Amino acid sequence: MDTKTHSLSLANPAPQNMNAMQKLSVAIGLTGLFIFALALFNVQLLFKTAWLYVAIIFILAGILIYSLSTYKKLPPGIQNNGVYFKSISAKGVWGWATGIVLTLLYVFLYWFPQYLGMGKEGNNNTGLVGFFDPLSYFLNGHAASQWFVYGVLYTMAIVGFGFKFLLKYRHNKYQQVRTISVMFFQLGFAFLIPEILTKLNPTIPYFSKDVKNMWPLNYYFFEDWHLKAMLEGGNLGMFILLFGLAMIFIISPVLTYFYGKRWYCSWVCGCGGLAETAGDPFRHLSSKKLNAWKFERWSIHTVLVLIVLTTIAVLYTFLGDPANKTWITKDEFTIGVVIFLSVVIAVIFIFKRKQLDKDVKYTLAALGIIVVGSILINFLSGQKNILFIDSNQLRSWYGFAIGAAFSGVIGVGFYPLMGSRVWCRFGCPMAAILGLQQKLFSRFRITTNGGQCISCGNCSTYCEMGIDVRAYAQKGENIVRSSCVGCGICAAVCPRGVLKLENGDEKDRFNPQAILIEKDKITLAG
Amino acid sequence: MNKSHEHIVIIGNGISGITTAREVRKKSSQPITVISAESDYFFSRTALMYVYMGHMKFEHIQPYEQFFWQKNNIGLVKALVTKVDTSVKEVQLDNGEPIPYDKLVIASGSKPNTFGWPGQQLKGVMGMYSKQDLEYLEACSPGCKHAVIVGGGLIGIEMAEMLHSRKIGVTFLVREAGFWGSVLPSAESEMINRHIREHHINLKVNTKLVEILADSNNNARAVVTDKGETIECQVVALTAGVTPNIAFLQGSGIELGKGVKVNPFLETNIRDVFAIGDCAEQHEAIDLRKQVEAVWYTGKIMGETLAQTLCGNRTAYDPGPWFNSAKFFDIEYQTYGWVWPTPRENEVQFYWEHPGGKKAIRIAYNKNTRTFLGINCFGIRMRHQFFDKVLREQLTVDTVLQNFEKANFDPELFTTYENDIRAAFQKNHSKLMTANGY
């Protein structure tokens, strides 16, 4: 029953005979991509602007027609037939090829944008980046950058494959509303609004205008250049700064309390948005092994420590620079951070010490390390020199290793090999913070429906975060896990109606409601 | 922790046997050996279909990683038990030394029914129960253009879905007037009939298999029905129920009927020998249940119960209110309590079907006392805990409908139908609002 058996079978277990409309749609979509390729290699096209829009429309139309011709003829329901037989979704040749192409795309985006046509030192753009200039001028009034190209492609992917997902799950209203939400936040908040705001405010320096892209996912929010840009950015800059702070300290904790981290991770976030749409065909590839969970705890908390300490170091340097007029001194800032985090840790120990599973303990340890680190920074650092390392260097290393290599290259490039949530699961420091709150201070849980589980494994297999959902469901236990992003697919693919995402009273979140005898709390190893 | 050194040997690594092993291990460190000829590790039998359909790989339907067994000191032996010798307390294997036991648990499951149809031994004819059955179907699939399924029950419709997913044409022969007519009332059965046909399955109701025809190589090439029709096919699936797999116990002295005869404590007539799951047959039926219950959930409950007994807390099998579930292509089915295909004495049934024809509810209640007896749910998920409480406390149908929102288990944001259902109920079953509070 493994893949070897299949490769020996005489007939392909998943006959891939595409219908005429599917073939047509693939042809249209690839034509659009081909036009991009021509631009990349600087083929001079007449009516260049028109070709740009033709390419964009062709790609979107290709996805649309493909989705319609694939799902519309099937009765509404779970459409996972052949997922493990298809090359693209079962780590076959197409899967690997896609992974490599995506990875290379990220390598060029981050480190060699000139080969995509990004004009250096004031030179005009050429190639693919130059191809996008007209759209960029139209939207934000500037020439395109590689990040503008990336933003357009990213938004197209979420909107196009979001439409596909809507059709695939047209029987499931939760999935429909959630998907419309990620499409809306990407198209509006992440793409159109920031571009248009840039056009309307041509004189102010650049800063992120995507209000939902909050720290620490947006790791440069507190970097000196970004802070300065916001402070010099007039009302808009001040709004973004204050809203960004409100997101971190008020909006996010409140929403996470009522709805769990899903309000962000699978309804709003751009990384999540791509994972849930373009990444959906790869969600089952996340590892469910216990070892993967162990690695996850280490990696995600390492990133959390790194980003918070880097941010503290950068702010520390910023506050210590007499050129910056600020409200607080660097000593006050350090003391503030230490007190704040110490209070958080103390509150958790006092009120939640009975619920400290390993995930939470690791997060607490990470916060503890941050407290110690902040103190060390205060005593052992000079002005620009943080713990004997230049703070600029520290953040540029974070930007390289985490911001680019981890979240981009591995996070998306490895979709077809490690699943769609590699970054969210192993790296995202936001996810670590929201996860701590979801585990300890939230009304969210996945309820297990009494004794109805048949241990089939669909829930675990299709969990993009690699949670072994079945391990809880078959014991009749609710699922309350830090890493759950609340996408709801486990509940959707369950053939027996066993799982339900719910918000409810905190006190019976964990209660096993097993109808079977298994009521004693003794658990087995593993 | 129980410090007993008695060796527990379990024949069969399905849900019943493995549940016993796990539950014993929670309470005791005594040696446990599980013997299976079917697979190296426990897997979810009900999920075999998803492997064939490509939703999962075989490894995914194994609920525990391989290290689990060693870590919990549960011995696994891959062998076929050929004989049980209760006089010297040992089981004999096809491939090795006999294994001595102090306590023996028989959890050997079922095998597909065959009724002596001519041609049932031909190549390409199969049941669908074991891992080997699935492997055989996989081997028969290349070159298979059309398949015939005989037997309109749960395994039959799963096979239809499986074969259809591989773009193999399916003719589905059902003896009754509609799908699963022995269990489902006709309206629900008719709804599933429509849904089966929506998936392009050629469903033939009121039709029996007469014989299976062979080609020159002893392969099945066609079936003949009692309507005189000959249907060309390369695969024939016999899915007319299952029967306990107990042939190896003949002559062991263990009392056998249809299955291994057990008392409410799951004890056989021989001391220290127990039987659970599909292969066990109760001397007396428990409430309205069958004496042999070939159901995942009951197997699991029997395993949990027996583990108590094996660890010194002799416990009777008390499964509580009946429940079950299934999925018919895209329509999910759950049932709680008893809803018979035709109402029994003093019973009334209320049926509501959504205009879309894919959601339905049937509630059975006692017409004198208005006690709620059971519910069939199609396309609407319901909360097990809610109905378990209702059935244990013998609440009325009116109370259930008044609190129907609490019973709903559909995902958030789904359209709900409680008001429609209540309105329909009030029309013909009145008295609704006179009930006491929940």
pLDDT tens digits, chain A, 526 residues: what are they? 343 344 334 445 655 678 899 999 999 999 999 999 999 998 888 888 999 999 999 999 999 999 999 999 999 999 999 999 999 999 999 999 999 999 999 999 999 999 999 988 878 999 999 999 999 999 999 999 999 999 999 999 999 999 999 999 999 999 999 999 999 999 999 999 999 999 999 888 999 999 999 999 999 999 889 999 999 999 999 999 999 999 999 999 999 999 999 999 999 999 999 999 999 999 999 999 999 999 999 999 999 999 998 888 888 888 887 777 777 888 888 899 999 999 999 999 888 888 888 999 999 999 999 988 888 887 777 666 666 677 778 788 888 888 888 888 888 999 999 999 999 999 999 999 999 999 999 999 999 999 999 999 999 999 999 999 999 999 999 999 999 999 999 999 999 999 999 999 888 787 655 555 444 434 454 4
Average pLDDT over residues B340-347: 96
pLDDT at A31: 97
Could A177 and B50 be called an inter-chain contact, meaning their C-beta atoms sit closer than 8 Å? no
Residue A457 sits at the chain B interface (C-beta within 8 Å): yes
Instruction: Give me the amino acid identity at B377.
Output: C
Partner residue facing A80 (CB), from B55, B65, B296: B55
Residue A5 sits at the chain B interface (C-beta within 8 Å): yes
Nearest CA among A201, A167, A166 for reference residue A183: A166
The one-character DSSP state at B2 is: B
Beta strand B220-225 pairing with B125-126: unpaired
Beta strand B8-11 pairing with B103-106: parallel
CA distance B124 to A346: 68
Phi, psi torsion values for A502, nearest 5 degrees: -145, 155
Question: What's the burial of B271, exposed, middle or buried (CB within 10 Å: 0-12/13-18/19+)?
Answer: exposed
Could B330 and A458 be called an inter-chain contact, meaning their C-beta atoms sit closer than 8 Å? no
Closest-CA residue of B relative to A473 is B63
Cβ atoms within 10 Å, residue A1: 18
C-alpha to C-alpha distances, B63 to A287, A455, A478, A514, B162, nearest whole angstrom: 14, 7, 17, 18, 22
Could A520 and B26 be called an inter-chain contact, meaning their C-beta atoms sit closer than 8 Å? yes
Answer yes or no: is pLDDT of B272 > 80.
Answer: yes
CA distance A149 to A134: 11
The CATH homologous superfamily of the domain defined by B323-434: FAD/NAD-linked reductase, C-terminal dimerisation domain (3.30.390.30)
Which residues 464-523 on chain A approach chain B with CB closer than 8 angstroms?
470-471, 474, 488, 491-493, 495-497, 500-502, 513, 515-518, 520, 522-523
Which tokens sit at A243? 């809203």
How much is the mean pLDDT over chain B?
95
Chain A positions in Cβ-Cβ contact with residue B301 (cut-off 8 Å): 451, 516-517
CA distance A255 to B420: 33
3-state class of A55 per DSSP?
A: helix
- Cβ neighbours for A87, distance < 8 A, ≥ 6 positions apart: A93, A94, A95
- What single string gives the DSSP state of each residue in B39-87? -SS---GGGHHHHHTTSS-GGGG-SS-THHHHHTTEEEEE--EEEEETT
Size of interface A-B (CB pairs under 8 A): 189
- What single string gives the DSSP state of each residue in A295-311? HHHHHHHHHHHHHHHHH
CA distance B137 to B134: 5
Beta strand B125-126 pairing with B323-328: unpaired
Taking the CA of residue B184 and the nearest CA in chain A, the distance in Å comes to 18
Which tokens sit at A318? 């910023």
Nearest CA among B172, B306, B86, B61 for reference residue A457: B61
Instruction: Give me the amino acid identity at B160.
Output: A
Nearest CA among B397, B334, B323 for reference residue B366: B397
Closest-CA residue of B relative to A472 is B63
Could B330 and A171 be called an inter-chain contact, meaning their C-beta atoms sit closer than 8 Å? yes
CA distance A327 to B257: 87
Chain A positions in Cβ-Cβ contact with residue B26 (cut-off 8 Å): 520, 522-524
In chain B, CATH 3.50.50.60 covers: 8-111+243-310, 125-240
C-alpha to C-alpha distances, B339 to A389, B207, B343, B347, B397, nearest whole angstrom: 74, 26, 8, 10, 13
pLDDT at A386: 65
Strand order in the sheet with B209-214: B209-214, B220-225, B230-232
Chain B positions in Cβ-Cβ contact with residue A474 (cut-off 8 Å): 63
- Continuous H helices in B247-376: 296-310
**B414 dihedral zone (left: phi>0; alpha: psi -120 to 50; beta):** beta
CB A316 within 8 A of CB A386: yes
Partner residue facing A458 (CB), from B27, B56, B411: B56
Could B166 and A461 be called an inter-chain contact, meaning their C-beta atoms sit closer than 8 Å? no
Closest-CA residue of B relative to A470 is B63
Partner residue facing A470 (CB), from B63, B300, B301: B63
Partner residue facing A454 (CB), from B44, B56, B57: B44
Average pLDDT over residues B328-353: 97
**A345 dihedral zone (left: phi>0; alpha: psi -120 to 50; beta):** alpha
**B143 dihedral zone (left: phi>0; alpha: psi -120 to 50; beta):** left
Whether CATH 3.30.70.120 fits B125-240:
no
Instruction: Give me the amino acid identity at B217.
Output: N
Could A81 and B381 be called an inter-chain contact, meaning their C-beta atoms sit closer than 8 Å? no
Instruction: Give me the amino acid identity at B35.
Output: I
Tens digit of pLDDT for each residue in B42-51?
A: 999 999 999 9
Average pLDDT over residues B233-257: 97
C-alpha B185: how far from chain center: 19
Taking the CA of residue A80 and the nearest CA in chain B, the distance in Å comes to 5
The dihedral sign for the CA sequence B340, B341, B343, B347: positive
Closest-CA residue of A relative to B336 is A452
CA distance A58 to B7: 69
CA distance B40 to B75: 11
Beta strand B32-36 pairing with B8-11: parallel
Percent of chain B past pLDDT 70, that is, above it, reads 97
CA distance A420 to A279: 5
C-alpha B317: how far from chain center: 18
- For domain B8-111+243-310, give the CATH number: 3.50.50.60
Residue scoring higher pLDDT (A309 or B161): B161
Chain A positions in Cβ-Cβ contact with residue B135 (cut-off 8 Å): 1, 5
Contacts within 8 Å (CB) and 24+ apart, A114-118: A116/A40, A116/A146, A116/A149, A117/A39, A117/A40, A117/A42, A118/A145, A118/A146
Could B72 and A502 be called an inter-chain contact, meaning their C-beta atoms sit closer than 8 Å? no
Chain B positions in Cβ-Cβ contact with residue A173 (cut-off 8 Å): 411, 413-415
Cβ atoms within 10 Å, residue A415: 26
Phi, psi torsion values for A334, nearest 5 degrees: -60, -45
pLDDT at A6: 41
Which residues 58-97 on chain A approach chain B with CB closer than 8 angstroms?
75-78, 80-86
Chain A positions in Cβ-Cβ contact with residue B297 (cut-off 8 Å): 451-452, 516
CA distance B419 to B352: 12
CA distance B91 to B80: 10
Partner residue facing A81 (CB), from B44, B54, B62: B54
CA distance A75 to B276: 39
Domains of chain A in start order, with CATH, are 19-73+112-203 (no CATH), 207-442 (no CATH), 443-508 (3.30.70.20)
CA distance A332 to A329: 5
CA distance B161 to B165: 6
- Cβ neighbours for A80, distance < 8 A, ≥ 6 positions apart: A462, A493, B53, B54, B55
The number of CA neighbours under 13 Å toward the Cβ of A285 is 26
Kindly report the three-state secondary structure assignment for every residue of A348-415.
Answer: HHHHHHHHCCHHHHHHHHHHHHHHHHHHHHHHHCCCCEECCEEHHHHHHHHHHHHHHHHHHHHHHHCH
In chain B, CATH 3.30.390.30 covers: 323-434
- Continuous H helices in A247-329: 252-259, 262-265, 270-276, 290-320
